[in-house]
Structure 1
Amino acid sequence: MKRIAVEQPYEDVAAALQAKGYETKMFNTDEDVKGYDIGVVRAINEGNTHEFNFPVVSMRGMSLEDAVEAVDQKARLME
């Protein structure tokens, strides 16, 4: 089972991912997140890509369904 770190305030994304069988944890922007397989964040900018040691999905411009599909795609690539 893939572990997904989901940035606040995307509880709806976390719930949708849990319904698909993922383990999720909510985190705050300034929180140090380690040990997860994939992250869902508000936005990715050049300055903060080094903060994560796993692939991330940016919510910028994405619907709930888009975000879940993006996580599914990254999870499949990791298998």
Structure 2
Amino acid sequence: MAKIAVEQPFEDVKAALEQKGHEVQMFNTDENVSGFDIGVVRAINEGNNDEFDFPVVSMKGMSIGDVVDAVETRVNQM
């Protein structure tokens, strides 16, 4: 089970990850977020690469199922 940060307003992603047994917390983009195993963000841009002290998955162009699969793959590699 991983501790996952999900960017607001993606409650549906939070619910899907919780169903897989992960501990999920929502965060706002302007928050300083740390202490998580992995994060899910709307998109990764040049400016926010060093914003997080954990790996992030970008939701850009992905379905909820794709995001959950990507997170689980990353978690299993840890």
The alignment of Structure 1 onto Structure 2 pairs a total of residues equal to 78
Question: When the two structures are superposed, what TM-score results if normalisation uses the length of structure 1?
Answer: 0.96
Any idea what the Cα deviations from partners look like across 1:24-76, whole Å, max 9, x if unmatched?
Answer: 00000000111000000000011110001111000100100000000000001
- Name the residue aligned to 1:52: 52
- Name the residue aligned to 1:77: 77
2:57 is aligned with 1:64 = no
- Partner amino acid, structure 1, of 2:66: D
Q: CA RMSD in A?
A: 0.5
- Name the residue aligned to 1:27: 27
Gaps of 5+ in 2: none
- Name the residue aligned to 2:18: 18
CA distance in 1, matches of 2:48, 2:33: 13
- Name the residue aligned to 1:38: 38
Gaps of 5+ in 1: none
Structure 1 consecutive aligned stretches of length 4 or more whose deviation exceeds 4 Å? none
- Partner amino acid, structure 1, of 2:51: E
